[in-house]
Structure 1
Amino acid sequence: MKNIQIIHQREILMLKEFIRICDKHNLIYYMLGGTLLGAVRHKGFIPWDDDIDIGMPRNDFEKFKSIVKQEVTYPFYCENDKDISSYKLAFMKFCDSETQVYWEHNNEKIVVDLWMDIFPIDGMPGNILKRKLHEYRYLYSRMMANLAQFSNIVNLNKKNRPFYESLIINIARKLNLEKLLNYNKWQKKYIEVISKYSTSEKYAGNYTGAYKLREVVPSDYFGKGEKLDFEGLKVNAPSKYKEYLTAIYGNNFMQLPPIEARQAHGLEIVK
């Protein structure tokens, strides 16, 4: 069996356990990003993709965080800032303790438990002035929180960064800003900023994702959700999932990208 097939099989088991907990406690969730694209275009994983992305409205996200330790069954567990004091991400990782993978980070291969990402979905005001101010505060606090944990979170191998991002990263490396910035202060500020507005606002989205503000869309795109097929499961998707995918990937999201652009995390099974 191929490496990617084993990863997909284990991730489906993780997803089933996650859905079981959400259904038991009436928690709202949605497929996001490449997972949603895979459901729409392939009725499952994008063939070369090796991860699962899920989003939850902030209230449901926090509720899940508070109950998961008591609810989750072996071999699964959840990494988050409530249960692990040293955890340094603004989203959760739902993990499989029986499946280890090599993950390449900044030219170093490390062994980690296989995971899927669970992101918070927060609001954005419709008022143009409030929105622009919130966008600025978000981008600034995210940058500072990332610089405060530079070696842990900044991917130096990421391609096609905007010029200003590459410039900031080079300056941060040379000045060793990670040593000068207080991580706890800036991470707290970052989470305070992104969680300020609820999904009842005109816009909402995943502020912690790779696409930043491109993932903030009209909040009615999420709605009550719609079940889509994903590898034989019925999994929640945003109500207006086509509009959501168009906002992030463009009008041609159903077309396959060229072979050279078909990239994933590059995970390799250890055991």
Structure 2
Amino acid sequence: MYNENLRNVQLIELDILKEVDRICKKNNIEYFLDSGTALGAVRHQGFIPWDDDIDIGMTRANYNKFLTVAQKELKDDFFLQTKDTDPKAPYYFAKVRKNNTVFMEWNKRNLDMHQGIYIDIFPYDNLPDNVDERIKFQKKCCKLYRFYTIRSTMDRDVKPQKTAKWLLVALIRRMIHFIVKPIPINLVKEIVDRSFMKYNNVYTEYFTCLAYGKSYIFNKNDFFPLKEAKFEDDFFRIAGNYDAYLKELYGDYMKLPPEDQRKGHMPFKLNYK
């Protein structure tokens, strides 16, 4: 049933992307297609056929500028979701959602927040150039981000499975969540922000999205200057050397995954009419 609705979800997400693109061009804010959206642009000239989200990235400076500008300039059909605009939202990064739609993920089903169809906007922060320092820094940031997600959401991202292992991990996750819940989430975010942005006041050769929760490393020279790539019926910015970027993320990125891995987020509840 969801496959029948997937294309409608994709087209709404494309409308959101075009609105973000409009605001960014008007205000000289630089962004680029990110992760699976960048892969879709290169491999499919649009959405990965089974994908149901759009991701874009920005340097932290552009990200902060966008958050300020977008609250004023987004059309009424859209909503900028951050911890400031929607305090119950559990995400570290921003989303732009379409009003009067629903794309509810299973582990967010009990949260009192905007649950519309969305695109993700990820901040990119500098990494230290020294290898040992970079490894230590990314390990720390991964742990902090993991802590942030557990504090924010009691359930796993993975939908329920009738296995003892899944139930055990889910139980442990909930136990840890309730143990750390007394810690104010704003305090946790402040600590994460300060840690993630530690190297942003100096020039470094490398940067990454620390909200991936994984230790990817990207050379800025592989990103900038950006180039345009076709995505569906329009052109959007992408890493200049997208080959290096996508290899870091996916390895042999032109090879399709096995059929049983061709899945999107599969919403718990969906409404786009």
Instruction: Give the structure with the larger strand fraction.
Output: 1
Alignment partner of 1:112: what SS? coil
2:192 aligned residue: 190
Is residue 2:45 matched to residue 1:43?
yes
With 223-232 and 97-106 compared, the bigger mean Cα shift is at 97-106
Q: Is the 8 A contact 2:33 2:237 kept in 1?
A: yes
- Specify which of 123, 137, 156 is matched with residue 140 of structure 2: 137
Q: Is the 8 A contact 1:226 1:239 kept in 2?
A: yes
Change (3 A) 1:102 1:138: closer
Amino acid at match of 1:120: P
CA RMSD of aligned residues (A): 2.8
Change (3 A) 1:102 1:180: closer
Cα distance in 2 between the residues matched to 1:248 and 1:30: 15
With 170-179 and 48-57 compared, the bigger mean Cα shift is at 170-179
Change (3 A) 1:183 1:109: closer
Task: Say how many residue pairs are matched.
Answer: 262
- Percent identity (aligned): 27
1:237 aligned residue: 238
Amino acid at match of 1:261: Q
User: Which consecutive unaligned segments of at least 5 residues does structure 2 have?
Assistant: none
Q: Is the 8 A contact 1:147 1:177 kept in 2?
A: no
TM-score (norm 1): 0.86
In the TM superposition, what are the counterparts of 1:1-271 in structure 2 within 5 Å?
2-105=4-107, 112-151=115-154, 154-157=156-159, 171-174=172-175, 176-198=178-200, 200-209=203-212, 212-214=214-216, 216-250=217-251, 252-267=252-267, 269-270=270-271, 271=273
Deviations for 1:162-182, whole angstroms, at most 9, x for unmatched residues? x9xx99875443353233434
Using the TM superposition, give the Cα deviation of residue 156 of structure 1 relative to its aligned residue in structure 2, in angstroms: 4.7
With 258-267 and 85-94 compared, the bigger mean Cα shift is at 85-94
Alignment partner of 2:149: what SS? helix
Deviations for 1:85-141, whole angstroms, at most 9, x for unmatched residues? 444322101111032234322788999210000000111011123213312321232
Using the TM superposition, give the Cα deviation of residue 50 of structure 1 relative to its aligned residue in structure 2, in angstroms: 0.5
Alignment partner of 2:129: what SS? coil
Cα distance in 2 between the residues matched to 1:233 and 1:55: 18
Amino acid at match of 1:247: E
Deviations for 1:227-270, whole angstroms, at most 9, x for unmatched residues? 000001110001111110001100x2111111101010113642
Change (3 A) 1:122 1:62: same
Q: Is the 8 A contact 1:10 1:99 kept in 2?
A: no
Alignment partner of 2:210: what SS? coil
Cα distance in 1 between the residues matched to 2:99 and 2:175: 37
With 254-263 and 55-64 compared, the bigger mean Cα shift is at 254-263
Q: Is the 8 A contact 1:103 1:109 kept in 2?
A: no
Q: Is the 8 A contact 2:90 2:149 kept in 1?
A: no
User: Which consecutive unaligned segments of at least 5 residues does structure 1 have?
Assistant: none
Using the TM superposition, give the Cα deviation of residue 75 of structure 1 relative to its aligned residue in structure 2, in angstroms: 0.5
